[in-house]
Structure 1
Amino acid sequence: MLLFTGKGGVGKTTLAAATAARLAVGGHKVFVVSADPAHSLGDVFGVPVSADPSEVDTCLYAAHVDARGLADRSWQAIRREIRGFLPGLSDVDAAELTVLPGVDELLALTEVARLAADGPWEVVVVDCGPTAETLRLLALPEAIGGYLERLSVGRHLADRVGALRDVLVDPARTSVRLVLTPERIVVAETRRTLAALALRGVRVDSLVVNRLVPKAGRWRGPAASWLRVRRAEQEAVLSELDASMTLPLRRVEHRAAEPVGVRSLLGLADELYGETDPLEGAGPYATPLLSVRSAPGGYELTVTLPLTDESTVELARVGDELSVTVDGVRRLVALPVLLRRHEVTDATTGPDGLVVRFEAGGSPA
């Protein structure tokens, strides 16, 4: 499962569709599904796309998920399920329990997972919403799973949510491709997104840089001068990004004509992937979030996060867990058993991420 996301307007839907088209031509049975409320997947392919998978080309199927419509159709079934677990509830009480935070988005994500599991697909390409919405969406299985358990709504619902999270954080099954344009504001958001996804345990396999202005070559005149200046600015931004990242950067130049239809999308995919397989780099390897090593007087726990000098990091010990907050995104991380009887004495950030020092009998931090 490949998830494409990025700041609104960077072209993630087009690049997701181009990737799916290239994979289908390569012989894979591919399903591309949009969880973006904008529903522009049909516009990109130039054919109608509905909530049910439909064939848009050989081996290539597409659909979009209507979260609000799905919620409207699901309310009664959800209420019946809740009342089955808690038969003493009135209809009003059961209705109130379905108004969980983010339930529309959760239903959209579970529908994507259902469509992916029910079909004969080898690859599922997901056109996600803008990054802020996607991060909220990816956090929901963890957040709502605990919420359901605390409310005693029932183990069944919580198990479904837990299974969804297992898919999202499994690097053998799922990875994210972040789409960006070569602008400092967009790159800054991309850096924050990388840290937030790492904190969630979701793997990013590459960055896709879209809409590089063409090189002016030997052209002359004001337009050529503008192209050279703009391209130089973009290259400077990308050089800084590349120097601070170990992820591959794929590049796509801005096109004069908007790519619409499978043929145009395949041309875009040729520029994006060249002779390589679009699945290259989407394999199971992923750096573990936590690693422990011995240190004088105790241990060091490394929380592997792509932090920058501008990252805002907050850390707190909560029983046998660490509360880690990076740029407003918070996660409770269970401590390895080895460290639970030790105290946090120091924490620093660096190129490897967040390094937390533990010592026996130290002062709580």
Structure 2
Amino acid sequence: MFNELKEIKMIENLFKGKNLRFIMFGGKGGVGKTSCAAATSVWAAEHLNKEILILSTDPAHSLSDSFNQNLSGGEVKKVQGLKNLYGLEINPQKEYAKYQDAMQSPQAASMPEEFKPFMEGMGDLSEMQNVMPPGADESFAFAKVLEFIENAEYDLIFFDTAPTGHTLRLLSLPEVLGSFYGKIIKMQMALRDFWGKFKGFFKRKEYETDTLAQMNKLQETIDNVADELKDPTKTSFVIVMIAEAMSIYETEDLISYLNLYEIPFSNIIVNMLFPEQVDCEFCSARRTFQQKHLEEIHYRNDGSYAITEVPLFSTEITGLERLKELSRLLLP
């Protein structure tokens, strides 16, 4: 492992004087987000008296590889070797299957005969129900966030997010869904008032449904999530990047969107740095290349976030012991 760096600024401010509920790791693909998220969750499990969950919202999961343990299948599993750390790789197909089951529920059977002609005009939607729509990965990841906030089973949740584009769509969902369901609720209330005017024409009672109550509850939950994600005492976003131009530009975009959605962040990890002084021509050339970009990263910092420099490991970071090794570089 290369660790001959002059200074490594620790991301200790992530936990100092805070009682965070959510810590999200994001950035460009291939920069080591999963390793950094997993290592930080291991540190937290060892040093904090909390029940901790780390979940992956990346469609191309690598959390299982990091822990060298199967965390797939869409079910929470205990991380081996730690009593208070659990892992989950979200399975969009499994979550979508649950959605399909809900869509095929027998509720329509209780609908009054007078309303059935209107529903028959809607046609057969079963074909649409069998196709997972675009953006489903982010939607079902967000649905899981709602689930965990509701049951409050875990004190601290780490998110190993997908590359930047997916993450931005995930972060925008509270605002998008909040607006969408708000409009749906208003529309349903208007329709209910409209049909209420005709109830005298029917002998049967007005068709009652708890759909409006459920949607109001969902709207309330989405609003709560949005508030929690914007609360700096509960949420922190950690950006992971490498000392290359493309990563710098993508990080700038990510910071702009974090500010737009009011997501708190105060840490950047610059990962995979080559050593400065080593008897290796290739390594020296790479470090010289990285140094120019590293200086730019520090220059762009307006003092609002800490920068943690992490060396390149000579081998893959997999398994609990290797994650602990990385965690000691990230945190004191």
Whether these two folds match at TM > 0.5 is yes
Equivalent residues of 1:180, 1:208 under 8 A apart: yes
Q: Which residue of 2 aligns with 1:329?
A: none
Relative to the length of structure 2, the TM-score reads 0.72
Secondary structure of the structure 2 residue equivalent to 1:172: coil
Summarize the Cα distance change of 1:241–1:83 in structure 2 as closer, same or farther, 3 Å threshold. Answer: farther
Q: Which residue of 1 aligns with 2:30?
A: 9
Higher helix share: 2
Equivalent pairs, count = 268
| Alignment partner of 1:31 out of 50, 53, 61 | 53
Is residue 2:147 matched to residue 1:149?
no
C-alpha RMSD of the superposition:
2.8
Superposed, which structure 2 residues align to 1:210-289 within 5 Å? Answer: 210-217=271-278, 219=279, 224-245=280-301, 246=303, 247-273=305-331, 275=332
Q: Which residue of 2 aligns with 1:53?
A: 76
Q: Deviations over 1:147-189 (max 9, x none)?
A: 2222336442333322222222222211110111110111111
Equivalent residues of 1:33, 1:112 under 8 A apart: no
Distance 2:123 2:230 in 1: 34
Equivalent residues of 1:180, 1:187 under 8 A apart: yes
Higher strand share: 1
Distance 1:3 1:163 in 2: 17
Give identity over the alignment, percent. 28
Is residue 2:255 matched to residue 1:194?
yes
Distance 1:136 1:82 in 2: 32
Distance 1:94 1:61 in 2: 42
Superposed, which structure 2 residues align to 1:106-117 within 5 Å? Answer: 106-115=139-148, 117=150
Relative to the length of structure 1, the TM-score reads 0.66
Q: Deviations over 1:213-272 (max 9, x none)?
A: 12334x2xxxx2322222122122121121221211111111111111111100011112
Which piece of structure 1 moves more, 45-54 or 69-78? 69-78
Amino acid at match of 2:240: V
Equivalent residues of 1:116, 1:124 under 8 A apart: no
Runs of 4+ off more than 6 Å: 81-84, 96-101
Amino acid at match of 1:238: L
Q: Deviations over 1:20-55 (max 9, x none)?
A: 011111133321111111121111101111322221
Q: CA deviation at 1:60?
A: 1.2
Distance 1:94 1:175 in 2: 45
Secondary structure of the structure 1 residue equivalent to 2:43: helix
Q: Which runs of 5+ in 2 are unaligned?
A: 1-21, 189-211
Equivalent residues of 1:27, 1:59 under 8 A apart: no
Summarize the Cα distance change of 1:23–1:82 in structure 2 as closer, same or farther, 3 Å threshold. Answer: farther
| Alignment partner of 2:228 out of 141, 163, 167 | 167
Which piece of structure 1 moves more, 235-244 or 116-125? 116-125
Secondary structure of the structure 2 residue equivalent to 1:251: strand
If asked which structure has higher relative contact order (CA below 8 Å, sep 6+), I would say 2
Distance 1:94 1:80 in 2: 15
Q: Which runs of 5+ in 1 are unaligned?
A: 276-365
Amino acid at match of 2:330: L
